[in-house]
Amino acid sequence: MVRVVTLSLARLGRSGPAIAAASVAPALLDQGSVDGARAAWVLVLVWAVLALGTASMMIVRPVAATISTLVVLGAVELTASAVQVELSFLDLLPVAACLFMTGALGTRRNAVWAAAGVAVVVASGTVVNRLTATAEWRGGPDVLAGLLVMALALVAGSAVRAQREAAEVSQQRYDLERRQRLLAEREASARERARIAREMHDLVAHSVTLLVVNAETLRARRAEIPAWAAAQADAMAEAGRRATEEMREMLTVLRSDGDPELTQPVRQLEDVPTLLDEARRAGTSVGFAEQGSAAPISLAASLCAYRVVQEGLSNARRHRPGAEVSVSVCWRPGSLELTVVTGPSPDQSDENDEKDEKDENDRPSAGLGLAGLRERVVEAGGTATVGTDGHSHRLQVVLPTRPRPAPREAR
């Protein structure tokens, strides 16, 4: 209900005159059943005209509208007591509407000023009424009832304002978290791409270096090869040196941020045992098993395999500290299957473990390492599967291998 009123207030714009007219109409309709004297109708009509003018400011100047409308109402009520006619109790509605708008659209300071102004005006009107009116036309419980209506209107408006402010704060928090998540995703993606580019650069640089060495060998044997072959060797050597220099410049750019992880030597599949030993020294219980006979594998896939194990161990330390980790390498015909299984954390119950994992997934940086890993696996021509097996977390990657060379026949 409060949300509906808040949305309605947001669309009010400058519709104060319409609201003022709607709040004045009930008193006009009810006056005939209260007192049909001519003086009563004259006062009600005067009140309606003046209230339309003062209450129309409730959207843009709610405090001024409240005080002005209440002053006009007090003057009309005092005149009614003097001429001994009764006005409808519904003539309080314009004041209540102004107070509601003060609480809903204004600030807390405005609400305090409005409440103080109402108290002063009502107190002054009550004193004047006691001094000028006869005993039977002096205000009594009706004054208290009017104050109660005004207080309820101000409280209701303040509640709407509080709801609106809470909604704005919640929206701002959501926008901030969304921006942080997008920024973290972009940084993680850029970091992963930089790492892949750096590693691929190192690998290609090695191959280009071999090309240059072979070209220089041909140039050294220039006397034994045709002239056209010597010219081609010169061109190959020059192109190779230029490519090597350009790739070194690119590597310098990638390493310019000083990140130590980007400046470490390139690790491959044969470095996995060293990685496992480092994890064990850090306190992680790691088991390792290898099945099948090793097959030739591309350097990109070898790099990817190392990163798979590294990411699995990092996630185990981050999300399930103290859990046992099992790493298996299975060589199959045409593929290499890597599986990293992380058991439940020993110092947490199953419910707390699931809750902590859910809270971690709700963070802005959650899942970014796995997203980068999937990108790396796809680049290497493989597939990645992440899931939960009971209370254990499983990371499984399948990478393609090269066919083994056929054995040469004995001469």
Share of the chain above pLDDT 70, in %: 76
- With cut-offs at 50, 70 and 90, classify the pLDDT of residue 14: low
pLDDT at res. 198: 64
Tell me: the pLDDT tens digits for 58-111?
Answer: 877 888 888 888 888 888 888 877 778 788 778 888 888 888 888 888 777 877
More confident position, 149 or 409: 149
Task: Identify the CATH assignment for 267-400 out of 3.30.465.10, 3.40.960.10, 3.30.565.10, 3.10.20.30.
Answer: 3.30.565.10
Given a contact cutoff of 8 angstroms between Cβ atoms, the answer to whether 377 and 397 are in contact is: yes
What is d(CA 246, CA 265) in angstroms, rounded to the nearest whole number? 20
Tell me: the pLDDT tens digits for 304-342?
Answer: 888 888 888 888 887 788 889 999 999 998 899 999 999
Ramachandran class of 262: left when φ > 0, alpha when ψ lies in -120 to 50, beta otherwise: alpha
What is d(CA 13, CA 132) in angstroms, rounded to the nearest whole number? 42
The DSSP element (H or E) to which 334 belongs, if any, is none
Beta bridge partners of 394: 341, 387
β-pair type (392-400, 383-389) = antiparallel
Buried b (16+ CB within 10 A) or exposed e, 210-240: ebbeebeebeeeeeeeeeeebeebeebbeeb
Fill in the amino acid letter for 23: S
Q: From the CB of residue 287, how many other CB atoms can be counted at a distance below 10 Å? A: 11
- Tell which residue, 51, 75, 72, 88, has the closest CA to residue 129: 75
- How many secondary structure helices (H) and strands (E) does the chain include? 13, 5
The answer, as to whether pTM is greater than 0.85, is no
pLDDT(359) > 50? no
What is d(CA 147, CA 89) in angstroms, rounded to the nearest whole number? 12
384 token code pair: 């990645």
Beta bridge partners of 398: 337, 383
- Give pairs for 223-226: CB < 8 Å, separation 24+: none
- Mean pLDDT computed over 143-158: 79
- Tell which residue, 369, 361, 364, 312, has the closest CA to residue 189: 369
- Tell which residue, 64, 65, 88, has the closest CA to residue 77: 88
pLDDT at res. 409: 44
At which residue do the structure tokens 């005080």 appear? 67
What is d(CA 234, CA 395) in angstroms, rounded to the nearest whole number? 49
What do you get for the CA distance between the two ends of the chain, in Å? 93
More confident position, 142 or 222: 222
Fill in the amino acid letter for 181: R
